[in-house]
Structure 1
Amino acid sequence: MNAPASSLNVPESAMGWKARLHLGYQLRHGKARLVDRMQRGPLAVQRPLYPEGAPCHTYLLHPPGGVVGGDQLDIRVHTQQGAHAVITTPGATKFYRSDEKMAYQFQTLSVEKDSTLEWLPQENICFPGAHAQIHSDIYLEQGSRFIGWEFQCLGRPANNETFNHGSIDAKTRVYIDGEISLIDNLTTHADALIKSTTGLRGHAMSATLIAGTIDSDYLEVVCDVLDSFGPQLAVGATCVDGLLVVRMLGNNTEDIQNVLIPVWKTLREQWLEIPACSPRIWAT
């Protein structure tokens, strides 16, 4: 699979960390191996782990601990046929306040037929006054298996800090066999989107889980999980053209994780047909 190269539309005047991390996984001797790794700048990964046999668990690290205006992060992941990678982060990615200078995070995920990628990062926290573009392009082949999520937190609700100034442009695009199948946008200046009745409706967090390429029969399976939490949740699920999408609003990470992790575990067990195996880093 040859996904188009990420287009980093970054002004020449941008100054800060310029980091790249490219990871390629291949099935060798019955296990997914991290056979291609290119890193530049402060992005890195820990030594791959194999807590469940064939799947390769990888922890993505951003050592400075946060992203500021002028930083440019370019993350690319490619799973070849037969490989299975599970990628997460040890903590939230924090986008700090800047003087209107933009921070950039671009992610390109490519999943070949008969390969599996589970993309399970912790949340993105956008501090009041942050300016960030957070773009994810996901390229799936028919017959590939992808489960991934993105959490965006505007402000720091636990500290009663609202996102009352700054700008965020978060976009996820999913392609199946090169054709666009989903565009998911979250764009706001200050707290306009949070206050909007057609936006976040007073919530500080938005989360999206995507699974594909998947049969629509699994929508009922996911809805059964969501129904078990009662009607009080701001959550919904759809399945169109091989993509199952769960969207949720909330005000703290734990509430969202308490819903989406069971959805992920259920899809793992019933769709991927392997037991749930949470990354060990989640328990620390």
Structure 2
Amino acid sequence: MFDGIPLQRSHGEAHISLDGGGLTELRQSGSGKVMLPRTYADVPEIVFLNTSGGLTAGDRLDYSLCLGAGMSARATTQTAERAYRAEGGCARATVTLQLGRGADLAWLPQETILFDGSALRRQTRVEMADEARFLGIETVVLGRAAMGETVARLALEDTRTVRRGGKLLLVDPLRLDDAALARAGGAALLGGARAFSTLIIAGPGTDLALEPLRAELDEPGVQGAASALNGRLVLRCLATDAWPLRRQMVRLISRLDPGGVPRCWQM
């Protein structure tokens, strides 16, 4: 509300389905868009876009992607998502990724930048059939260091859920609020970092990626650790600035995916 006048809110939805015959469904509305630019790799590259320019209180954004059996694809976002100061509520975002039997998806969105006073609730749901393979990352940046921004107030709920064959494989919840930020200088939380990433791999041969990825965790200014168990691998990195963290994630992705990062990640 501004002087009794309801503020305009953004609502966006973008959905795409691919199978062996190519594109089978494309649906988009509001600020949610999805594009299939000319591919420069051996697999389709899908780009999601929020034309509203960012998220604030009451906004809603939904992305979804469905890959048919045996399909391979890489999906990303056209630019970093931004969550701005929110008054009187939170922004909501959902990402739903469905992989058919033997499908292979790399979900590689660019960073989410949280501004002071932002409120974001996001859920990423991955539904995998047997023998499917999933690679996903999520990077969060607390303000832009180059602009001298600091984040003292926020409300973030960010949950990733992975199911394989209908059975729960991984739940990865994150919650940050004002109280947590006040304690975030401690080693048990962010240790002074303002940017952090999570990388998840699920599917056949996951355990084989553990040692090669650990060997790549040597970017100056970035701390990282990884573990693997029962067909899933989780790697986390922290950095005091987003730029070295991006360099680290680019190297990790390139190690896992011969195609490297999507073209719209231009360094």
* TM-score past 0.5 threshold: yes
- State how 1:51-70 maps to structure 2 within 5 Å: 51-53=40-42, 55-70=43-58
Match of 1:276 in 2: 259
SS at match of 2:173: strand
1:179 deviation in Å?
1.8
Match of 2:15 in 1: 22
Match of 1:37 in 2: 26
1:107 pairs with 2:95: yes
CA distance in 2, matches of 1:193, 1:141: 40
Runs of 4+ in 1 over 4 A off after TM superposition: none
1:198 pairs with 2:181: no
1:221 pairs with 2:212: yes
Is the 2:33–2:48 Cα contact (8 Å) retained in structure 1?
yes
CA distance in 2, matches of 1:266, 1:72: 34
1:197 deviation in Å?
2.9
SS at match of 2:254: helix
CA distance in 2, matches of 1:107, 1:193: 30
1:211 deviation in Å?
1.2
CA distance in 2, matches of 1:164, 1:188: 11
1:208 pairs with 2:201: no
Amino acid at match of 1:283: Q
Is the 1:194–1:204 Cα contact (8 Å) retained in structure 2?
no
Match of 2:74 in 1: 86
Is the 1:52–1:277 Cα contact (8 Å) retained in structure 2?
no
Amino acid at match of 1:225: E
Q: Over residues 204-262 of structure 1, what are the superposed CA-to-partner deviations in whole Å (9 max), with x where a residue is unaligned?
A: 12201111114212211212222x547x6310011111111110011322211211221
Alignment length (residue pairs): 259
Structure 1, unmatched stretches of 5+, are 1-12, 269-274
Is the 2:142–2:151 Cα contact (8 Å) retained in structure 1?
yes
Amino acid at match of 2:103: S
Q: Over residues 155-209 of structure 1, what are the superposed CA-to-partner deviations in whole Å (9 max), with x where a residue is unaligned?
A: 3333332221121111111112222222222211122363343111111122011
TM-score when scaled to structure 2? 0.89
1:179 pairs with 2:170: no
SS at match of 1:217: helix
Is the 2:74–2:105 Cα contact (8 Å) retained in structure 1?
yes
CA distance in 1, matches of 2:235, 2:98: 21
CA distance in 1, matches of 2:160, 2:265: 24
- Do the aligned partners of residues 14 and 222 (structure 1) sit closer, same or farther apart at CA in structure 2, a change above 3 Å counting? farther
Is the 1:49–1:58 Cα contact (8 Å) retained in structure 2?
no
1:278 deviation in Å?
3.4
Amino acid at match of 2:86: S
Match of 2:246 in 1: 257
TM-score when scaled to structure 1? 0.84
CA distance in 2, matches of 1:233, 1:156: 17
1:241 pairs with 2:230: yes
Amino acid at match of 2:122: I
- Aligned-residue identity in percent: 26
CA distance in 1, matches of 2:173, 2:260: 30
Structure 2, unmatched stretches of 5+, are 1-5
Is the 2:12–2:50 Cα contact (8 Å) retained in structure 1?
no
Is the 1:145–1:214 Cα contact (8 Å) retained in structure 2?
yes
SS at match of 1:218: helix
SS at match of 1:87: strand
